[in-house]
């Protein structure tokens, strides 16, 4: 209602201004108008026409502001939706990357475990072979040593028997 009063007040002011302008324009003679170039001729409109034009401009400006507000709201909602969508996509991508890296790590770990296990078995086999060879060599050495000890013992036994025989003979000789 206040707006209508302001509009009515503005219209009355505009009517007075237009009337004053119209009186000045009427005082200009045709010869004066012809002396001016076409570009300098002023176009006159009535106060009501001016008021209608201004109302139309204001209405279009208000419509434009409303459309801009609507578009800004839509844009903000769109940005929010895209942001949420991107957050979800980033989370999914991070989860996929994590799963992929975990899978690669497990595969590499299994590969290294197999390789290590294979090398360990090979080393155990080599060590077992070396131990078996050492055992055989030790058994051979023990056998040789045992044979040598038996030989020494037999010779020592023979020498002791011979010495005893000689000692018995001498003792028997001495008793006689």
What's the burial of 50, exposed, middle or buried (CB within 10 Å: 0-12/13-18/19+)? middle
pLDDT in tens, 38-50: 444 566 778 888 8
pLDDT of residue 98: 96
> How would you classify residue 164: left for phi > 0, otherwise alpha for psi between -120 and 50, otherwise beta?
alpha
Extract the residue ranges of the chain whose pLDDT is less than 50.
Answer: 16, 18-40
Gyration radius (Cα) of the chain, Å: 63
pLDDT in tens, 18-37: 444 444 444 444 444 444 44
pLDDT of residue 31: 42
pLDDT of residue 41: 53
pLDDT of residue 45: 74
pLDDT of residue 46: 84
pLDDT of residue 176: 54
pLDDT of residue 7: 55
């Amino acid at each position: 209602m206040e707006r209508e009063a302001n509009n009515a007040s503005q219209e009355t002011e505009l009517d007075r201004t237009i009337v004053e302008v119209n009186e000045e324009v009427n005082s200009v003679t045709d010869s004066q108008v012809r002396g001016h170039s076409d570009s300098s001729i002023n176009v006159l409109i009535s106060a009501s026409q001016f008021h209608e034009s201004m109302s139309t401009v204001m209405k279009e400006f208000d419509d434009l502001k409303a459309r801009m507000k609507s578009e800004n709201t839509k844009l903000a909602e769109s940005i929010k939706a895209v942001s949420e969508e991107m957050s979800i996509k980033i989370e999914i991508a991070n989860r996929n990357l994590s799963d992929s890296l975990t899978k690669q790590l497990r595969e590499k770990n299994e590969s290294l475990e197999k390789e290590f296990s294979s090398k360990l078995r090979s080393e155990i086999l080599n060590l077992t072979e070396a131990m078996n060879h050492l055992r055989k060599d030790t058994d051979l050495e023990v056998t040789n040593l045992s044979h040598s000890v038996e030989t020494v013992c037999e010779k020592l036994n023979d020498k002791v028997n011979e010495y005893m025989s000689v000692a018995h003979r001498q003792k028997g000789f001495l008793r006689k």
